[in-house]
Amino acid sequence: MVVPKDKSVEELVEMRLGAVFMPCGMGHFIGIDTHDVGGYLTGQPERVMQPGLKSLRTARVIEPAMVLTVEPGCYFIEHLLNEALEDGSPFVTYLDAGLVNEFRDFGGIRLEDVVAITDTGFINYTLCPRTVSEVESVMAGGKWPPMKDEAPELCRDRLTDPNPLPPPPPSC
């Protein structure tokens, strides 16, 4: 999709080329509401207004006990693709137009994980297939969740727990 030519990956990132395919933020806080607010507070880093960053829902310093989503995605949005492929666009020479055009009607895809920040890192509470082999196994009718976590770097600590959720509270 992207042809680096005379630029390094870091330079393409600095140009904000990624915003063509991911113009939105990377997630949001989870709290009292599903999409909790409170991302831009006094004394915290200020909002960056560059493409691909201006829609971030927070610039806060992440601290233990915060719970938030991590939602990387890749989207094929008609007007953004058209602008990026126009003559004079800073991106046109770095995109393979034929390949981009193959995906125009695809829409996009997003992965969403809910993570709790700890003193030493995070716990990923999302229990769905993430690796190619996990997805293929589930699509073929395989057992989920699996007996063994093949991607421990995702910190899905409860993935192989036979009781990943606490029991419901007693009813009244």
Once rounded to an integer, what is the mean pLDDT over residues 31-53? 78
Residue 172: the pLDDT is: 60
Q: How many CB atoms neighbour CB 32 within 10 A?
A: 8
**Measuring CA to CA, how many Å separate 103 from each of 15, 18, 73, 77, 97?**
22, 16, 14, 10, 10
Q: pLDDT above 90 covers what percent of the chain?
A: 44
Half-sphere exposure of 149 (CA within 13 A, CB side): 16
Helices (H), 49-148: 78-85, 97-102, 132-139
Residues 6+ apart with CB under 8 A from 92: 84, 85, 86
Domains and CATH numbers, the chain: 9-126 (3.90.230.10)
Residue 152: the pLDDT is: 92
Angle at 28 between CA 37 and CA 151, to 5 degrees: 155
Residue 164: the pLDDT is: 60
**pLDDT surpasses 80 at 32:** no
Task: Please give the mean pLDDT across all residues of the chain.
Answer: 87
pTM for this predicted structure: 0.75
